[in-house]
Amino acid sequence: MLPTNPGGHAAYQDTFVSQFLKFYPDPFVLPKSTWDYIVQFWYLDLSQTDSIMQECYSVFGPEPRLPSCMLRSYLLALKLKVTSITVWCRMLKETPLYAILSGFSFGDTPGVGTFYDFFSRIWQDDKDSLSPKDRFPKMKPPKGKKKGGKTPCDSSSIASKLLPLLEHWQLKPQNPFFLIFRLYQQQFLDQSIHRGLVNPRHLALAGDGTPVRTAAQQRKKRICHCKEKGCSSCNCKRHYSQPDCNWGWDSHRECYFFGYHLYMYVASGSFSGLPVFPLLERASRHDMLSFLHSFFTMKAYLPEFRIEKLLLDSAHDAYAVYEYCRRENIVPFIDLNPDIPDISLIRMISLLMMMVSPSVKWAYVCIKMDMKLPSTAQNTGARNQTGSVAVSVNTLFTGEIWKNRTHLYR
């Protein structure tokens, strides 16, 4: 049978209230932290999940659990930092609050198999990974030389080669995770837009990657017979249980980790930086590569969004990115990468600017974008001191001064 939820979110709220008072006649004994997530899930309207996911179910067979309840229950598990489905199913059986807050009756909660069945319906592919499970073993990426250093990467040349390719390639919004994105877009992102918290016509996006550790060790096993023949270290294909994950360097904690890089775009102009587009990238991937891939994937999924400003860290400091931003009328705010050698001239200028101007970052951007600094009192000093050097920088890089965008810097 297809899942049907005629009562929508109101039906969930009504059932929850009646059940809640039955199990907790004195609700005020619950601590404040518990009330915090009760309130969050009480307002979390996931009723569209049932209509979106109808096509994932068959008209035959027994009535399934409501997809909205399954999703709500899984989100509640993540909220409580429970990542094991087995543990979560036991908690649903033991604690009435978790069962009724998910939308189930206490004593009639789903088992482990029901959750995995739900996950396989949400993932729109027969295979459970993007990469093939049998592949050749790879060497570990070399560690950054300096303290806190990332994997050495010539991000400038990567960007200049890859950006034009991706720009003309037109990535298609068809992935095994397109249904997950649809659930997120309709019930979270569109809600933010509807409430005026995110403005898709004037977006200021901030993007960065963060490590997501999935396991302590990479699980792989031999599928060849070299070891029996006496060769213990061969380079034949191995069977990987998580082929989309690999080893990356966490420069903040200064350690290797196994898993993904979550590359996330947030609306920096919104209250508390609401999420716009998340994408899991390979852990070994440099931020520049993740940025390019996730940026153009985002453009494919959200073509109507108009990006006006882009805030990125020094890993994204490459001329190709500035050139792209100029073509697309995006104002970039990118930290300078101190490791790029040809930037020494700008560093010299920036030292001068730090002495005379508090708006050092703006001056950075102006010089990197070959723009004129706006004529404000605080910039006059900077211009006087750096004028001659800045002019030579302009001619050195493109020989052209971009005048018409200075109004954005006031």
Least distance between Zn ion and beta carbon 132 (Å):
17
Least distance between Zn ion and beta carbon 258 (Å):
23
Q: What angle do CA 366, 198, 278 make, to 5 degrees?
A: 85
Alpha carbon distance 46, 186 (integer Å): 10
CA neighbours closer than 13 Å in the CB half-sphere of residue 405 = 19
Distances (CA, A) of 286 to 192, 250, 291, 292: 30, 11, 9, 10
Q: Which stretch binds Zn ion (CB under 5 A): 126-134, 165-173, 227-235, 355-363?
A: 227-235
- Interface residue with Zn ion, options 2, 162, 171, 234 (CB under 5 A): 234
**Secondary structure E strands in 185-322:** 203-215, 220-222, 238-240, 246-250, 255-267, 274-282, 307-312
Least distance between Zn ion and beta carbon 246 (Å):
20
**What is the full DSSP assignment across 48-83?**
HHHHHGGGGS-SSSSPPPPHHHHHHHHHHHHHTT--
> What DSSP designation does 9 have?
H
Least distance between Zn ion and beta carbon 189 (Å):
47
Nearest to Zn ion of 202, 219 (CB atom): 219
Region for residue 64 given its phi and psi (left: phi exceeds 0; alpha: psi -120 to 50; beta: otherwise): beta
223 is an interface residue for Zn ion by CB under 5 A: no
Least distance between Zn ion and beta carbon 238 (Å):
9
Nearest to Zn ion of 130, 224 (CB atom): 224
Least distance between Zn ion and beta carbon 231 (Å):
7
Nearest to Zn ion of 226, 351 (CB atom): 226
81, 45 Cβ separation under 8 angstroms: no
- Number of residues interacting with Zn ion: please give it, by CB under 5 A: 4
Nearest to Zn ion of 238, 383 (CB atom): 238
17 is an interface residue for Zn ion by CB under 5 A: no
Binding residues (CB under 5 A) for Zn ion: these are 224, 226, 234, 236
